[in-house]
Structure 1
Amino acid sequence: MKNIRCILFYIAGSVCSGSLHAHTQSDLPNWAANGLDQAHENIGSWVDYSARSLDGLIGTEDSLTVDNNSYLRITQESLWQETEGISNDLSVRFKLDLPTSKERLRLLIESDPEESLGTLTEQGSNSQLNEQLSNSNTIIGLDQLTPRDKHQRWSYRLGGGIKLRTPIDPYVRATGERVWSWDETSWELSSYNRFSWFDSDGYSARSHWDLSRPLDADRRLRSYTRFQWQETEDTLEYSQRFEISRQLDDRSNLRHSLIMVGDSLSDPRINDYYLQSWYRRDIHKGRLFMDLIPELHFDRDSDFAPRWAFTLRFEFYLRKAINRSLR
């Protein structure tokens, strides 16, 4: 484990300093790139084959050709907080996407669904997320899909299943999504809403509203609002992010944000203000990503005294189809 971290820190330093030769699709030295490609070919093909084989047992031969969004993600994260020092975490997350023979019905196996990620304060910028994940959070269930284009009307998804643990934990949830676009102003508003019930945790609801528009060819302005209520917390939480993102090149993105996190509907209050810069780079062929995230927090627990935090994170995606999105 220590050797893996040393290698990752070496790669991060080399990428930031520009000492490595910048290949078309990779910043890695040949020895690292070759090893990564071999691991991706072996494990990524196994993930895709396993998903399609399992799908074929309950579906049709179409399972060999339809889109499949299955993946395995390995994350190594180092987090430094001014008052708490350095913490390191290695986590694995997977999603098996299994379209079945029944029209618009999909079998889903997923670790760490969003209902298991804690409060908005705990989620933060995802820089403290790994501590919330657990092997007991894997779910298996069926999702009923609607064929509607969410740019034209609301698209709904109903699902249900169980959380794989002892005792078995059943769940049901409903999701609605909608996107509005105004061509004359370039503004776009997207809405994501989910209502869930888990036997162990009770009811929860969350709503995300994302308003954005391009400023020019490389920059985008964004306002991202989130609301969340969980029966276990019994309070309404909300967060607001104002962000300007810039596409530095076809493999790098930089975001500057002002973020506020609060709670309570009867007595609203902000618990944390923070400034964040988030640099994300595809350092190898859409498979290995690096995040550098400095933050300056002013939180209620510290009497709003300034407190620095910094996250270095690597994400390795293992999947057959490669998505070059910088998220």
Structure 2
Amino acid sequence: MDYTARQLDEFFALETSNKHHDARAEGRVRFGWEPRTTSLAEQDFRFRIRVTLPALEDRVDLLLSDDDSFNQDDSIRAARDSVDDAQNSATLALRYQEQKDSPLSYRIGAGRRGQLFVKSEYEQRYAFTDTVSIDYDAELYYYTRDELGAELGLNFAFSLADDNYLRFKNRYFYRDRFNDWFWRHEVQLLRPVSPDSAVLFRLVTNGVSRPNHQLGEVYTSARWRTNYLRSWLFFELEPFVIWLREEDFNPSFGVALRFEFYYGKT
């Protein structure tokens, strides 16, 4: 992967520059089996790879991911697909930032069933106190077939005693092609178990605005995550229950088992 990154960066390098020798790739790959009472064969495969390009003063990254959000939502596949299955498609994009820590970035690439797209994104974090903070982001994008779209995220985080964390996450998606909104609300409680493991409790709801404001899904789980044998290898066990409108909100019980591999400085 590093060799490919150097070869790619050399394309942009000046003849007198050796910066491309420092090009590196980093990312993660996750394999999961997520059987539930209505779908025992459910599997999940997720990946994200980022290639930094020193020849372009580290202002441009090459991003390769299994979806176009690049935020790597960690919901089970059944919950993720019910939000917007159009996002779950391999995406290749170039991202430009004026500086590494700039809150504003721009992307151009291909994804979501082979569509070309352009996207601008703004994200920022503000700490009210040592224990209370807020993260917010906004995206505006255009796809050649899906046309205009937008996203807005607003997340609150509270640091509790004993290194516990409470988070309230909210996200809204607008689709011009259907003239409607997706909405998603989530509560998370993170509790460390040991220096190498933790449990994340989650309650998620989401739905759409048309033909009326309606609930599409309820999802709750407890995820145990641990560092397994190597610093770059993680294992997850996540019992869950999901209620889907398309299944008449009948509860579906399941458990997810995952291995996740990290590469480079992620």
Equivalent of 2:41 in 76, 86, 90: 86
Q: What are the Cα deviations for residues 241-296 of structure 1, in whole angstroms up to 9, with x where unaligned?
A: 11110122222121112211111077322222232111111213232221211112
Alignment of 1:201-280 (within 5 A): 201-264=146-209, 267-280=212-225
Distance in 2, matches of 1:274 and 1:112, equals 22
Can you give the 5+ residue segments of structure 2 that lack an aligned partner in the other structure? none
State whether residues 51 and 97 of structure 1, in contact with CA within 8 Å, keep that contact through their aligned partners in structure 2: yes
Partner of 2:64: 110
Amino acid at match of 1:139: L
Partner AA of 2:90 in structure 1: N
- Of 57, 77, 83, 1:127 maps to 77
The two structures, once aligned, show a CA RMSD in angstroms of: 3.3
Select between 156-165 and 263-272 the one with higher mean Cα deviation: 156-165
AA aligned opposite 2:264: K
Moved more, 264-273 or 211-220: 264-273
The structure with the largest alpha-carbon Rg is 1
Residue 4 of structure 2 aligns with an amino acid whose one-letter code is: S
- CA shift in 2, pair 1:135/1:244, >3 Å: closer
Q: What is the aligned-residue identity percentage?
A: 19
Match of 1:144 among 96, 101, 119: 96
Name the amino acid aligned to 1:146. Answer: E
1:320 aligned onto 2:261? no
Q: Deviations over 1:220-245 (max 9, x none)?
A: 11101111123455421111111110
Q: Give the TM-score taking structure 2 as reference length.
A: 0.81
Between the aligned partners of 1:116 and 1:233, the Cα distance in structure 2 is 23
Identify which of 132, 149, 160 aligns with 1:187: 132
How far apart, in 2, do the equivalents of 1:254 and 1:283 lie?
Answer: 15
Deviation (angstroms), 1:169: 4.0
Give the structure 2 partner of residue 70 of structure 1. 26
Deviation at 1:219, TM superposition (A): 0.6
| 3-state SS in 1 of match to 2:49 | strand
Question: Would you say 1:174 and 2:120 are equivalent positions?
Answer: yes
Tell me the alpha carbon deviations over residues 71-127 of structure 1, each in whole angstroms, 9 at most, x when there is no partner. 352x322121212333345x463524132434463141413332599xxxxx78133
Could you say what secondary structure the match of 1:80 adopts? coil
> 2-side partners of 1:124 and 1:109: how far apart?
18
User: Partner letter of residue 239 of structure 2?
Assistant: P
Tell me, in whole angstroms, the C-alpha distance in 1 between the residues paired with 2:137 and 2:112.
26
Counterpart of 2:75 in structure 1: which amino acid?
Answer: S
Which sits farther off after the overlay, 94-103 or 197-206?
A: 94-103
1:277, 1:88 → 2: CA distance? Answer: 18
Query: Unpaired segments of 5 or more residues in structure 1?
Result: 1-46, 118-122
For the residues of structure 1 that align with 2:165 and 2:127, how far apart are their CA atoms? 15
C-alpha distance in 1, partners of 2:182/2:174? 6
Q: Distance in 2 between matches of 1:296 and 1:94?
A: 27
Tell me the alpha carbon deviations over residues 32-58 of structure 1, each in whole angstroms, 9 at most, x when there is no partner: xxxxxxxxxxxxxxx123213321331
1:157·1:176 contact (CA, 8 Å) conserved in 2?
Answer: yes
Structure whose residues are more often strand by fraction: 2
Aligned residues: 259
For the residues of structure 1 that align with 2:46 and 2:252, how far apart are their CA atoms? 29
Quick check: which one's helix share is greater? 1
Please give the alpha-carbon distance, in whole angstroms, between the structure 2 residues aligned to 1:256 and 1:164.
Answer: 30
TM-score, scaled relative to structure 1 = 0.68
Specify the code of the residue in structure 1 equivalent to 2:42: S
Q: 1:234 to 1:80 in 2, by over 3 A?
A: farther
Aligned 8 A contact 1:94 1:110 in 2: yes
1: distance between equivalents of 2:112 and 2:220?
Answer: 38
